[in-house]
């Protein structure tokens, strides 16, 4: 299974992370995204006319959307990553769709700040902050149910879809300090067996006190 990969891409990282957690081997094919813009080369446009990465090849299967890649890798490994009940499946799909908003807002702010990609930084930061508030509320509601993850009592592909752009929000000058539920969730994900790092996702939480628990968790 080959992943066309850029080491600093959160969308590529989520696929690498899912594979590592699921114990699925990937052959990484580095792409010179910046500054080379290899993702716009004729060879890669032939694979993905949208000109985006990641791209996943497995035999005659070609996937160009990261959510589909997460689902495919999860299905190869263990179906509990996909959700085990109708309610879990629905929650997983809800948060997968939500993750696209994180990519557009927090990801857009990060690209503006790091690679000088044009965009309205303040608008992107506002949208990213609204998305973080929504995620914080969702995780707080899950905590009341006694669950640590966005869709279930265990991690699913929805968590992996949301995590990278949230963890990298400070690259776009969006702080995670106001969101204790998100910080607890991030710690839970980082503690999973097989978790792998990405450049830019630092262990900043280890330098700060543990976020206070909700009364229901005491």
Its sign, for the CA torsion 38, 115, 96, 79, is positive
Q: What is the pTM of this model?
A: 0.90
pLDDT tens track of the chain, all 218 residues? 999 999 999 999 999 999 999 999 999 999 999 888 999 999 999 999 999 999 999 999 999 999 999 999 999 987 789 988 999 999 999 999 999 999 999 999 999 998 889 999 999 999 999 999 999 999 999 999 999 999 999 999 999 999 999 999 999 999 999 999 999 999 999 999 999 999 877 655 444 555 555 444 43
Domains 2-77 and 81-217 share a fold: no
Burial class (CB in 10 A: 0-12, 13-18, 19+), 46: exposed
Would you call 197 helix, strand, or coil by DSSP? coil
Q: Domain ranges in the chain?
A: 2-77, 81-217
Architecture of domain 81-217: Up-down Bundle (1.20)
Would you call 24 helix, strand, or coil by DSSP? coil
The residue to which tokens 């995204």 are assigned: 33
* Fold for the domain defined by 2-77: Glutaredoxin (3.40.30)
């Amino acid at each position: 299974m080959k992943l066309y990969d850029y080491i600093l891409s959160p969308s590529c990282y989520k696929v690498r992370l899912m594979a590592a957690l699921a114990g699925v081997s990937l052959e990484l094919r580095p792409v010179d995204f910046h500054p080379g813009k290899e993702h716009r080369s004729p060879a890669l446009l032939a694979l993905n006319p949208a000109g985006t990465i990641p791209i996943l090849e497995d035999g005659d299967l070609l996937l160009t959307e990261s959510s589909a890649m997460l689902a495919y890798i999860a299905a190869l490994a263990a179906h509990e990553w996909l959700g085990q009940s109708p309610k879990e499946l629905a929650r997983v799909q809800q948060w997968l769709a939500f993750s696209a908003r994180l990519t557009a807002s927090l990801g857009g702010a990060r690209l503006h700040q790091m690679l000088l990609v044009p965009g309205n930084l303040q608008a992107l930061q506002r949208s990213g902050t609204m998305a973080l508030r929504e995620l914080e509320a969702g995780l707080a509601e899950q905590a009341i149910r006694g669950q640590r993850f966005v869709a279930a009592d265990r991690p699913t592909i929805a968590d992996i879809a949301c995590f990278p752009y949230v963890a990298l929000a400070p690259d776009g000058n969006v702080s995670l300090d106001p969101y204790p539920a998100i910080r607890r969730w991030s710690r839970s994900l980082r503690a999973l067996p097989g978790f792998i790092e990405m450049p830019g996702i630092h262990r900043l939480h280890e330098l700060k006190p543990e976020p206070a628990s909700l009364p229901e968790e005491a």
